[in-house]
Amino acid sequence: MTPSPPQTTLDRPVEDAIGLAPAPDGPGEHQPPGEHDLLERIATGTVTLLPALALGLVGWQLWDRALHWQDLLIFALLYIPTGLGITVGYHRLFTHRSFKTTPALRAAFAIMGSAALEGPVIEWVANHRKHHAFSDQDGDPHSPHVGHAGGWRGALGGLAHAHLGWLFRSDFASQERYAPDLIRDPVVHFVDKTFLLWTALGLALPFGLGVALTQTIAGGLTGLLWGGAVRIFVLHHVTFSINSLCHFFGRRDFATGDESRNLTWLAPLSFGEAWHNNHHAFPTSAAHGLRRWQFDPSALVISGLERAGLAWDVVRISPERQRSKLVAPA
């Protein structure tokens, strides 16, 4: 008979931080880190960091030829608003109704999110609400855990499906069933129906900025490359990683009944969306980073809007409610 595995202490620091007494020792809810843990971490590091390093290498090689300082500026000027269009707009405002705001800002967030090229807002919201309704069960549009065999082949197949594969399937969530509120909203409905216009704007802007900053067509074209194509590519894969990596790797602080995880290193690039276990525990919370150190730029934007009088009814989760959902250590 094999000895029982050692108790995992992964979740303990959060309990300590809020003063919850540790429970008696016993088998934990999660599989303790085993021999595959290190291999999995090496694999995640390789598949996620290597492409980013490669992109940096390409940028270095192309410096002053197809990449200039103004291209980096244009990248940031497009990445930040389109990224926030997805996280603050598509996700926290439209999907989960974490706060209320003016019709003009609803339109602005829907337009900025559309320019990220992740699909029209109502389709995005319907799929994401269905993800929460069936999280990691049959019916979840993009779980890495459903319908895949065990072992590393099943894990890789599940991750590929959750990351990108699901987008090629035809069983998207019903918009009538999952987003009737947005179909009835004239502002959101209009931006949804004019999606292509906003995607074109998201490409015309970096081209125009490149031309304006360099007074050349070539500057417009490199602006389009970095502020258009590369920006869309990076933001796509950051968003897709929330669906794949954040249901596979990282810490689980809250008992959510699914496999959602907090993936610290992805938080800055994803504007705070990588606190995904927190988010599944409290889907309507305007903040996904629930601890002081959990960097969540989207929550900062919502707080800023609130202070300016442009956001109200901001949903916050009390410490008691947070405590009640902490992963039970026994």
- Positions in 42-71 near Zn ion (CB under 5 A): none
Minimum CB separation of residue 68 from Zn ion in Å reads 37
Residue with smaller CB distance to Zn ion, 70 or 260: 260
DSSP 3: P
Cβ 209 to Zn ion, closest distance in Å? 32
CB of 135 vs Zn ion, minimal distance in Å: 6
Smallest gap from Cβ 8 to Zn ion, in A, equals 22
Distance CA 284, CA 187 (A): 22
> Which residue, among 225, 200, 220, 221, has the nearest Cα to 210 in the 3D structure?
220
Residue appearing with tokens 């003009």: 104
At 262, give phi and psi (nearest 5°). -95, 120
Task: Let me know the angle formed at the C-alpha of 320 by 316 and 326, rounded to the nearest 5 degrees.
Answer: 100
Give 44 or 260: the residue with its C-beta nearer to Zn ion: 260
The smaller minimum CB distance to Zn ion, of residues 143 and 322, is found at: 143
- For residue 275, the cross-strand partners are 262
Positions in 226-285 near Zn ion (CB under 5 A): 260
Coil, strand or helix: which one is 251? strand
Distances, alpha carbon 255 to alpha carbons 140, 219, 260, 265, in Å? 18, 51, 9, 21
Taking the C-alpha atoms of residue 307 and residue 314, their distance in angstroms, rounded to an integer, is 11
Q: Indicate the residue among 222 and 260 with the shorter CB distance to Zn ion.
A: 260
Give the relative orientation of helices 297-307 and 69-84 as an angle to the nearest 10 degrees.
Answer: 70
Query: By C-beta, is 82 or 260 nearer to Zn ion?
Result: 260
- Distance separating alpha carbons of residues 196 and 173, to the nearest angstrom: 21
Q: How far is the CB of 241 from Zn ion (least distance, A)?
A: 11
Q: Minimal distance in Å, beta carbon 283 to Zn ion?
A: 5
260 vs 270, beta carbon nearer Zn ion: 260
**Strands in 61-102 per DSSP E:** 100-101
Specify the residue, 91 or 106, whose C-beta has the smaller distance to Zn ion: 91
For residues 163 to 202, the per-residue mask of contacts with Zn ion, x marking binding by CB under 5 A and - elsewhere, is ----------------------------------------
Residue closest to Zn ion when measured from CB atoms:
260
The size of the chain, in residues, is 330
Whole-number minimum distance, CB 40 to Zn ion, in Å? 19
Q: How many residues bind Zn ion (CB under 5 A)?
A: 1
Q: What are the percentages of helix, strand and coil residues in the chain, rounded to 5?
A: 60, 5, 40
Residues of this chain that interact with Zn ion (CB under 5 A) are 260
